């Protein structure tokens, strides 16, 4: 199965066997198969569940990416300048270790190759430089039919007064987003997709965790290894905490302890809106019903 990213930019080059291509001289059923396959590709891309999907998009797939220096990579044989505009969030990977996260400074075409200069490496990076051996560059994109298709640098800056977006679909990434949010209002936005919660999400005063609705944003307990603990922990003495617009899913077959939401002592003003909680497998203390909108004081 191919996805949108595997299709060729030149229409005539998409001539492989159906349903992934349209080679010509095929019968009526094959025309239907091609149309259905394109519909499926577009839907998977829209909801972020395509192969190689998620928030990071490998726009240079099929082309060689190489290290130039500590702030530059090269994509050979293609013009990718429109895909890497200034201020776009990127992740640069290499075969031997963790990726680095940074922003595009410039992207220029030189002799048929795309030169991408980056800057402003963030705390999630192991160091403040592109590593030798870099062989992959991806950009951050939010899909799902919302206005957040492309997030500018302001959405990722530490301590700004808007919101933070997790870099990856994990509990650790959500906690890191809360840490970046700094003092005051601490809003973390969950994009469409399933977040694997391998460590509890910890929330303090002024923290808000906001999804795009329980049918689009889901927090699911990790199974390998299992999360034997709470999925969300609201700290003792916390004030003004908000949970809105996502699904909590436990895993009874692998979890032996923990709650969906654990509220510490002497907590004031917790808002819960448009949440759905359920447990997978045998019934348990989580239940299988929507959490009614409520305010706890």
pLDDT in tens, 26-60: 676 777 777 777 777 666 655 555 444 456 777 77
Residue 165 domain-assigned?
A: yes
In terms of domains, do 105 and 126 share one?
yes
Task: Residue 206: name the closest of 162, 270, 291, 274 by CA.
Answer: 270
Q: How far apart are CA 18 and CA 57, in angstroms?
A: 25
Of 192, 188, 211, nearest to 274 by C-alpha is: 211
Q: Per the structure block, which two tokens stand in for 164?
A: 């933070």
Domain that holds residue 16: 4-47
Task: Give the pLDDT of residue 70.
Answer: 93
In a shared domain, residues 168 and 288: yes
Distance CA 45, CA 3 (A): 8
Q: Are residues 168 and 80 in the same domain?
A: no
First to last CA, the chain: 51
Higher pLDDT, 295 or 142: 142
Note whether residue 197 is domain-resident: yes
Of 61, 53, 131, 127, nearest in space to 92 by CA: 131
**What is the token pair recorded at 202?**
């910890």
Q: What is residue 231's three-state secondary structure?
A: coil
Residue after which a domain boundary falls, among 140, 166, 190 = 140
Residues contacting 30, CB < 8 A, separation 6+: 18, 19
182-226 confidence digits (pLDDT tens):
666 688 988 888 899 999 999 999 999 999 888 888 999 998 888
Report residue 257 as tokens: 């302890």
Is residue 207, in this structure, part of any structural domain at all? yes
Q: How many domains, the chain?
A: 3
Q: Are residues 94 and 61 in the same domain?
A: yes
pTM: 0.56
């Amino acid at each position: 199965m191919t996805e949108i990213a595997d299709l060729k930019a030149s229409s005539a080059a998409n001539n492989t066997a159906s349903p992934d291509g349209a080679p010509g001289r095929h019968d009526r059923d094959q025309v239907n198969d091609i149309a259905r396959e394109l519909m499926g590709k577009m839907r998977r891309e829209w909801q972020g569940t395509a192969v190689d999907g998620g928030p990071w998009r490998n726009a240079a797939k099929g082309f060689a990416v190489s290290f130039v220096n500590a702030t530059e990579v090269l994509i050979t044989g293609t013009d990718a300048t429109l895909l890497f505009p200034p201020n776009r969030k990127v992740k640069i990977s290499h075969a031997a270790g963790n990726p680095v996260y940074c922003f595009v400074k410039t992207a220029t075409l030189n002799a048929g190759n795309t030169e991408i200069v980056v800057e402003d490496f963030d705390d999630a990076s192991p160091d403040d430089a592109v590593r030798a051996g870099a062989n992959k560059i991806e950009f951050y994109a939010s899909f799902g039919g919302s206005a957040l298709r492309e997030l500018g640098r302001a959405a990722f800056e530490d301590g700004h007064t808007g919101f933070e977006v997790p870099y990856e679909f994990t509990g650790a990434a959500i906690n890191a987003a809360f840490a970046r949010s700094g003092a005051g209002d601490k809003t973390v936005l969950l994009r469409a997709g399933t977040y694997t919660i391998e460590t509890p999400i910890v929330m303090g005063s002024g923290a808000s965790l906001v999804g795009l609705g329980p049918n689009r944003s889901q927090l699911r307990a990790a199974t390998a290894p299992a999360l034997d603990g709470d999925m969300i922990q609201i700290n003792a003495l916390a004030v003004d905490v908000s949970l809105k617009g996502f699904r909590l899913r436990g895993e009874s077959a692998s979890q032996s302890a923990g709650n969906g939401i654990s509220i510490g002592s002497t907590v004031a003003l917790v808002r819960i809106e448009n949440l759905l909680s359920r447990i997978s497998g045998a019934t348990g203390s989580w239940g299988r019903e929507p959490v009614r909108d409520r305010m706890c004081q």
